[in-house]
Amino acid sequence: MAIVLGVLAGLSALGSVELEREPEREYQPVRSSYNAGPTGTRAFYQLLDESGAPVARWRESFASLAAGGTEAALITVGPFPLGEGVPESETRALREWVAAGGRALVISRWPREQFGDPAIEVARQGDSDDWGLPPERLVDERSDDLIAQPTGLARGLRGLAVSRLASRLRFRPAGDEKGAPVVHLGDGDGAVLADFDYGRGRVIFLSDPFVVANNGIARGANLALALNLVGALGGDGRRILFDEYHHGHRGEGNALIGYFRGTPAPWLLAQGLLLAALVGYSAGRRFARPLPLPREDRHSPLEFVGSMASLQQAAEARDLALENIYPRFKAKLTRALGVPARARPPEIAAALGRRRLDVAPAELLRTLEESERALAGEPIDDHRLVALVATMRRVSAQLR
């Protein structure tokens, strides 16, 4: 029995314990919108989603874009994982889809890998030591000098925080459907942000993924640039698709198997089969269900939380911050005062005498009513928001 338990413990350890991973750096980033780490784009995707933008993750190949029509905009952020090269048939399908009327935003320091147009020339920037720098040392202090002209994409970009690794792009004339590029950000070495008409569609190139990454989007005017890009892509109500197919999140094959891929579920299945064999062998003897080894969470969400907080502050989404605090405070207060959870603020304030709390009924009533009006859409400034939250914290501390 001890040997069997040892084997089960070993299977559980192999399936659920991960080795320590190196911190993400620019030399090996993970640009997926599922990634909440420093080099991911989850904060960018979640901000658009919570703002009501029609965003979705695209988990099909570029060849499948045509089946959905051209009333969409695709955002593809490179590089893709090592070994995940994009075949020429894929990039050709993307170009044909854009030429038919689609829109694409290619964010990459080597955009030919994503778009496949040989007319794009790339000049790498930065020293070899820059690729391992932390984000606060990666920002180019001369970013504002890149603003080439006052266009819609360059609106409100003073204080831009482009990285020193932003490559420079040049577009050679070619006998295809490409129009003349409009350079919005760039210098004498080439463009950092440019766009042009491509057939009946439009394509935008940004040569620095740091601008929309979790560790860069909240810096300077990077959020304003990201929103300008989204506005240019989907300002007419187009659906905005984030390319996840080429980051390994593919929708092909069995959906159930794809859901459990990368989880301990296969190992749990193997343990279940082994247990079934042991039960049959022992003629019905009962064995306790094996418990999985404790799994230590080695991923810190603090950077992602910090990014989301900065985004909400930059977007002046004070109602979202209040929505995270007020419902729990009201539920806790109504339980303590013995009133229904759906009680109105005057009823709650009237029941204040049931508990000895260091708060006046008028102050509590004002806090409840102002919070509900703010959640209903009434504007509220930072000073009043802080005051409301401080009052709720003070009352909550007395309800323990």
Which runs of E-coded beta strand occur in 108-181?
Answer: 120-123, 168-171
Residues 214 and 348 in one domain: no
Residue whose C-alpha is closest to residue 274's, from 11, 13, 14: 11
Report pLDDT digits (tens) over 79-133: 988 666 789 999 999 999 999 999 999 999 999 999 988 889 999 988 878 888 8
Residues 240 and 358 in one domain: no
What are the distances in angstroms from CA 265 to CA 147, 148, 251, 253, 257? 50, 53, 19, 18, 10
* Token pair listed for 376: 């209903």
Q: Are 144 and 182 in contact (CB under 8 A)?
A: no
Confidence category of residue 308, pLDDT binned at 50, 70, 90: low
Provide mean pLDDT across the span 62-69.
Answer: 90
β pairing state of 120-123 and 182-187: unpaired
Alpha-carbon span 242 to 240, nearest angstrom: 7
Confidence category of residue 230, pLDDT binned at 50, 70, 90: very high
Residues 259 and 340 in one domain: no
Domain final residue, candidates 277, 299, 315: 315
pLDDT of residue 342: 86
Number of domains in the chain: 2
Residues 222 and 96 in one domain: yes
Alpha-carbon span 262 to 375, nearest angstrom: 39
- CATH assignment of the domain containing 247: 3.40.50.880
SS3 354: helix
Alpha-carbon span 81 to 66, nearest angstrom: 25
pLDDT of residue 89: 92
Residues 232 and 299 in one domain: yes
Report pLDDT digits (tens) over 151-204: 999 999 999 999 999 999 998 875 556 678 999 999 999 999 999 899 999 999
34-43, 114-123, 285-294 — most confident range: 34-43
Residues 100 and 135 in one domain: yes
Residues 71 and 31 in one domain: yes
- Burial of residue 196, with CB atoms counted within 10 A of its CB: 0-12 exposed, 13-18 middle, 19 or more buried: middle
Residues 97 and 53 in one domain: yes
Provide mean pLDDT across the span 338-346.
Answer: 87
Provide mean pLDDT across the span 47-74.
Answer: 92
Domain final residue, candidates 267, 298, 315: 315
Q: How many residues does the chain have?
A: 400
Residues 309 and 236 in one domain: yes
* Token pair listed for 21: 């991973």
Residue range of the domain that includes 249:
1-315
Among 82-91, 291-300, 388-397, the minimum mean pLDDT is found in 291-300
Positive or negative, the Cα torsion across 61, 174, 233, 168? positive
In the DSSP assignment, the letter for residue 246 is: G
pLDDT of residue 338: 85
Residue whose C-alpha is closest to residue 123's, from 206, 222, 207, 179: 207
Q: Which helix (H) or strand (E) holds 192?
A: strand 190-198
Residues 210 and 302 in one domain: yes
Residues 280 and 362 in one domain: no
Domain final residue, candidates 315, 342, 377: 315
Interior CA angle at 83 toward 191 and 119, to 5°? 30
Alpha-carbon span 130 to 52, nearest angstrom: 37
pLDDT of 270 > 70? The answer is yes
pLDDT of 266 > 80? The answer is no
Q: Which helix (H) or strand (E) holds 327?
A: helix 318-337
Alpha-carbon span 334 to 346, nearest angstrom: 12
Alpha-carbon span 305 to 321, nearest angstrom: 12
Q: Are 221 and 159 in contact (CB under 8 A)?
A: yes
pLDDT of 385 > 60? The answer is yes
Residues 17 and 66 in one domain: yes
